[in-house]
């Protein structure tokens, strides 16, 4: 089974930074990988994608503040989050863009004002 495990969340003040990690049980080289976030009661939204070509894309709400990267040798995807805002508070998940893997438990990010 394809599994992912997210880590690195926490409580941070507005304007602060966090770095999230996503360790995959499969080779991420074959997949476009994404970071998603979900607020209770709302749908899970894709916020950043890293494609097999190396290109990245971002939701408008995080563009210029978040950076997605990956270590293919370690099958790990990262999300560097800077200039955090209270609206970034959510549970963050990673998966392939086609949701091929089982969803992990996510990692909670809380940004205080």
**pLDDT tens digits, 50-90:** 999 999 999 999 999 999 999 999 999 999 999 999 999 99
Torsion angle of the four alpha carbons 97, 32, 93, 58, in this order, in degrees rounded to the nearest 10: -90
Phi-psi region of 65 (alpha: psi -120 to 50; beta: other; left: phi over 0): alpha
Report whether 106 contacts 6 (CB < 8 A).
Answer: yes
Give residue 17's pLDDT band: very low, low, confident or very high (50, 70, 90): very high
- What are the backbone dihedrals phi and psi of residue 47, each rounded to the nearest 5 degrees, phi first? -110, -25
Burial of residue 86 (number of CB atoms within 10 Å: 0-12, 13-18, 19+)? exposed
Q: What is the pLDDT of residue 103?
A: 95
């Amino acid at each position: 089974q394809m599994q992912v495990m997210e880590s690195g969340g926490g409580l941070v003040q507005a304007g602060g930074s966090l770095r999230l990690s996503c360790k995959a049980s499969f080779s991420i080289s074959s997949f476009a990988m994404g970071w998603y976030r979900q607020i209770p009661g709302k749908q899970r939204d894709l916020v950043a994608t890293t494609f097999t070509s190396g290109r990245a894309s971002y939701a408008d709400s995080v563009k210029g503040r978040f950076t997605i990267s990956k270590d293919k040798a370690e099958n790990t995807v990262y999300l560097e989050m800077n200039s955090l805002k209270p609206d970034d508070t959510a549970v963050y998940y990673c998966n392939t863009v086609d949701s091929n893997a089982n969803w992990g438990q996510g990692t909670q990010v809380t940004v205080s004002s």
